Amino acid sequence: MRESFLHYLWRWRRFDAQNLTTTEGKSVEILHPGEWNTDAGPDFFNARLRLGDTTWAGNVEMHLLASEWQMHGHSGDPAYDNVVLHVVLEEDQPVVRANGERIPCLELKGRIPAKVLETYERLEHERAWIPCQSFFRGIPDIIRLNWLDRLLVERLEQKTAAIAAMLDATGNHWEEAFYRSLARSFGLKVNAEPFEALARSLPLLTLARHKNDPKQVEALLFGQAGMLEETFRDAYSNELAREYKFLRHKYGLTPLTPGQWKFLRLRPAGFPTVRLAQFAALVHQSAHLFSKILEAQNLRELENLFDVQPGDYWLTHFQFDKPSVNRKKSPGRDFVHLLIINTIAPYLFHYGKSKNLEIYQTRALRLLEELPPEANSIVTGWAELGIPPRNAYQTQALIHLKTRYCDTKRCLECAIGNTVLKQ
**Given this model, what pLDDT does residue 408 score?**
95
**Given this model, what pLDDT does residue 76 score?**
80
**Given this model, what pLDDT does residue 140 score?**
94
- What's the number of CA atoms in the CB half-sphere (13 Å) around residue 355? 14
Host H or E run for residue 57: strand 54-65
Show the 3-state SS of the chain.
CCHHHHHHHHHHCCCCCCCCECCCCCEEEEEECCEECCCCCCCEEEEEEEECCEEEEEEEEEEEECCHHHHCCCCCCHHHCCEEEEEEEECCCCCECCCCCECCEEECCCCCCHHHHHHHHHHHHCCCCCCCCCCHHHCCHHHHHHHHHHHHHHHHHHHHHHHHHHHHHCCCCHHHHHHHHHHHHHCCCCCHHHHHHHHHHCCHHHHHCCCCCHHHHHHHHHHHCCCCCCCCCCHHHHHHHHHHHHHHHHHCCCCCCHHHCCCCCCCHHHCHHHHHHHHHHHHHHCCCHHHHHHHCCCHHHHHHHCCCCCCHHHHCEEECCEECCCCCCCCCHHHHHHHHHHHHHHHHHHHHHHCCCHHHHHHHHHHHHHCCCCCCHHHHHHHHCCCCCCCHHHHHHHHHHHHHHHCCCCHHHCHHHHHHHHC
Q: Is 195 exposed, middle or buried (0-12, 13-18, 19+ CB in 10 A)?
A: buried
Provide the mean pLDDT of the chain: 95
- In the structure, what pLDDT confidence band is assigned to residue 100 with cuts at 50, 70 and 90? confident
> What is the distance between the alpha carbons of residues 13 and 7, in angstroms, rounded to a whole number?
9
Helices (H) and strands (E) in the chain, counts: 18, 8
Residue scoring higher pLDDT (423 or 311): 311
**Given this model, what pLDDT does residue 105 score?**
96
- In the structure, what pLDDT confidence band is assigned to residue 188 with cuts at 50, 70 and 90? very high
**Given this model, what pLDDT does residue 13 score?**
92
**Given this model, what pLDDT does residue 244 score?**
98
Residue scoring higher pLDDT (82 or 338): 338
Terminal Cα-to-Cα distance of the chain (whole angstroms): 20
In the predicted model, what is the mean pLDDT of residues 120-131? 94
pLDDT at 98 over 80: no
**Given this model, what pLDDT does residue 362 score?**
96
pLDDT digits (tens, 9 = 90+) for 373-417: 999 999 999 999 999 999 999 999 999 999 999 999 999 999 999
**Given this model, what pLDDT does residue 99 score?**
78
**Given this model, what pLDDT does residue 248 score?**
97
pLDDT digits (tens, 9 = 90+) for 271-306: 999 999 999 999 999 889 999 999 999 999 999 999
pLDDT digits (tens, 9 = 90+) for 45-55: 999 999 999 99
CB-CB contact of 309 with 282 (8 Å): no
CA distances in angstroms from 371 to 353, 368, 375, listed in the order given: 22, 5, 12
**Given this model, what pLDDT does residue 287 score?**
87
pLDDT at 96 over 80: yes
Residues of the chain with pLDDT > 70: what percent? 100
In the predicted model, what is the mean pLDDT of residues 314-330? 91
**Residues near 209 by beta carbon (within 8 Å), at least 6 away in sequence:** none
pLDDT digits (tens, 9 = 90+) for 211-228: 999 999 999 999 999 999
**Given this model, what pLDDT does residue 395 score?**
97
**Given this model, what pLDDT does residue 75 score?**
85
**Given this model, what pLDDT does residue 101 score?**
86
- 0.75 cut: is pTM over it? yes
Q: Between β-strands 35-36 and 322-323, what pairing exists: parallel, antiparallel or unpaired?
A: unpaired
**Given this model, what pLDDT does residue 219 score?**
98
Domain boundaries, the chain: 3-112, 153-370
Q: What is the CA 297 to chain-centroid distance, rounded? A: 26
Residue scoring higher pLDDT (76 or 187): 187
